[in-house]
Amino acid sequence: MHPDVVAAPLPELPLRPPAHRVHPRAVTWWRLRAAAGVLVVAVPAVVLLVLVGTAWTVGLLAVTLAAGAAYVVAVPPWLYRISRWEVTDRAVYTMHGWLVREWRIAPISRVQTVDTQRGPLQQLLGLADVTVTTASARGAVRIRGLAADDAADLARVLTATTQATPGDAT
């Protein structure tokens, strides 16, 4: 940095967990996604069982189904307890993850775009995700599992807040 250039101090952002939980229907969405993942692994195991029919293929299928069922039952409620989000006039806060927890804080002045997404299962459950793209090498901040109406309102609020915040988000 050139000695004549003095960086402006960054505003202090409170380091605390975000205030809001995702929508409770997110648990169902995560369970359905997890069950689909189990099927992707279990179907080839069933095919192998039919073709080979040995004891190890039975064991492979049993372990696959048991581990998959445990994941489908245990992980989505755990994700619900951990997944949080909050938007203030200064930053977007998110926390997500069941094994590795990711806690992200994106200053509003760094927000470049705000998008909402609704996959087929989310549409059935009335859910949506909000993706906040920032001027960060780390990538976008995602808020997963919001009620669709809440996601649309959040996108509107974030867009208005970002437009009212000085700076060029770089």
Provide the pLDDT for residue 170. Answer: 56
Rg (CA), the chain: 21
Provide the pLDDT for residue 158. Answer: 92
Quick one: DSSP state of residue 4? Answer: T
pTM above 0.85, yes or no: no
- Helix (H) and strand (E) counts in the chain: 4, 7
Provide the pLDDT for residue 53. Answer: 80
| Residues 132/141, Cβ–Cβ less than 8 Å | yes
Q: pLDDT tens digits for the chain (170 residues)?
A: 445 555 555 556 556 789 999 999 999 999 999 999 999 999 988 898 888 888 888 888 899 999 999 999 999 999 999 999 999 888 999 999 888 989 998 899 889 999 999 999 999 999 999 999 988 778 899 999 999 999 999 999 999 988 877 666 55
- Structure token pair of residue 136: 């960060």
What string of DSSP letters covers 48-80?
HHHHH--HHHHHHHHHHHHHHHHHHHHHHHHHH
| Residues 86/93, Cβ–Cβ less than 8 Å | yes
Provide the pLDDT for residue 143. Answer: 95
Quick one: DSSP state of residue 150? Answer: H
Provide the pLDDT for residue 4. Answer: 53
Provide the pLDDT for residue 17. Answer: 81
Would you give the end-to-end CA distance of the chain in angstroms? 17
Provide the pLDDT for residue 98. Answer: 82
